[in-house]
Amino acid sequence: MTQTVLLALDTSTEFCSVALLSAAVDVGAAGHGRAEPRAWVRHEQTGAVSSTRLLPAIRELFDEAGLTLADCNAIAFGSGPGSFTGLRTATGVAQGLAFGLDLPVVPVSTLLVCAESARRRDPFATRVLAALDARMDEIYWADYAWDDVEGEWRTVQSASLDAPERLVLPDEPFTLAGNAAAAFGARLPALA
């Protein structure tokens, strides 16, 4: 039995999010099988003080799971776009933890996570406009299309920073994901 353990963290928004995933694979003489993955999660609205909560949250998850950092195979982190300080916090912690154990570090787009979250909630959400409040009266946004053949997202419009009114809408039905709708309401063309 081999075990794959992934630590993921994100502080690019007003939330401090940490997840630990453990997936065991049983490779025996009769072939191979896969055990159900287990996940432990902390997702807390911390505002600008994610840095004070991130390391304690990581420790809590490892304690709950009965695992240690040495059990990890990789560390993923939210690479933005997002808060400059939050991005530095997540990047620095991921790199710092990974360096000592020579683990790979995997950057993950915050907007792409919004798109995948929408698709997980609704399998018909295959065209997703992800938009996040960037503060200072602007939004971060990107446009993604799900490719069923490849089983992955294709970027139609890469991450951009614009005024809410400048959001470019897809020319086909789409799902709006992220917190920009709650922050800007009818100022977003998608809601107007």
Class assignment of domain 110-187?
Answer: alpha beta
Asked whether the beta carbons of 26 and 33 are under 8 A apart, the reply is: yes
The pLDDT score that the predictor gives to residue 2 is 86
Q: Return the higher-pLDDT residue of 29 and 106.
A: 106
- What does pLDDT average to over the chain? 92
The pLDDT score that the predictor gives to residue 28 is 60
Residue 27: pLDDT over 70: no
In this prediction, residue 25 has a pLDDT band, given cuts at 50, 70 and 90, of: confident
Write down the CATH number for the domain with range 2-108.
Answer: 3.30.420.40
Start-to-end CA span in the chain (Å): 54
CA neighbor of 22 nearest in space, from 7, 42, 44: 7
Mean pLDDT within 108-120:
96
Residue 69: pLDDT over 90: yes
Q: Is 27 exposed, middle or buried (0-12, 13-18, 19+ CB in 10 A)?
A: exposed
109: amino acid identity, one letter:
S
Residue 112: pLDDT over 90: yes
Domains 2-108 and 110-187 fall in the same CATH topology = yes
The pLDDT score that the predictor gives to residue 38 is 94
The pLDDT score that the predictor gives to residue 31 is 54
Per domain, the residue ranges of the chain are 2-108, 110-187
